[in-house]
């Protein structure tokens, strides 16, 4: 259900969220929508995938390294440019994987 919520807002009206905002939206983290507005398209901290970056923010600093490692293991990288150019992972896949990785921490 959370994945569907995220993907329904990702680049689609009425919200047209970017990838990190879609992840935040899935978990009702409206407080993160504005700060994440500029974090899509490889503009997150250190070039991280925006979806992975949002997921790390949601789980918190104590668990972010574990989450990011799991994301990289499943997707091939944590870096947006590598995901797109080297591994050919679409943004929708990054969003859904990020949401699925957060779910065990939140539910």
Q: Please spell the DSSP secondary structure of 17-39, one letter per residue.
A: B-HHHHHHHHTT-GGGHHHHTT-
pLDDT of residue 104: 95
Residue at token pair 């070039």: 47
pLDDT of residue 6: 98
Residue 29 has pLDDT above 90, yes or no: yes
Identify the DSSP state of 41. T
pLDDT of residue 1: 93
What are the C-alpha distances in Å from 64 to residues 10, 57, 100?
A: 23, 7, 14
Terminal C-alpha separation, the chain: 12
Q: What is the mean pLDDT of the chain?
A: 96
Q: State the pTM of this model.
A: 0.95
pLDDT average, residue stretch 4-32: 96
Closest CA to 67 of 54, 77, 55: 55
pLDDT average, residue stretch 51-71: 97
């Amino acid at each position: 259900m959370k994945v569907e919520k995220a993907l329904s807002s990702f680049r689609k009206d009425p919200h047209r969220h970017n990838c990190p905002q879609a992840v935040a939206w899935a978990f009702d983290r409206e407080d993160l929508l504005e700060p994440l507005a500029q974090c899509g398209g490889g503009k997150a901290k250190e070039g991280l995938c925006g979806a992975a970056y949002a997921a790390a923010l949601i789980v918190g600093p104590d668990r972010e390294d574990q989450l990011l490692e799991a994301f990289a293991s499943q997707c091939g990288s944590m870096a947006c440019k590598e995901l797109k150019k080297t591994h050919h992972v679409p943004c929708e896949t990054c969003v859904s994987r990020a949401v699925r990785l957060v779910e065990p921490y939140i539910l």
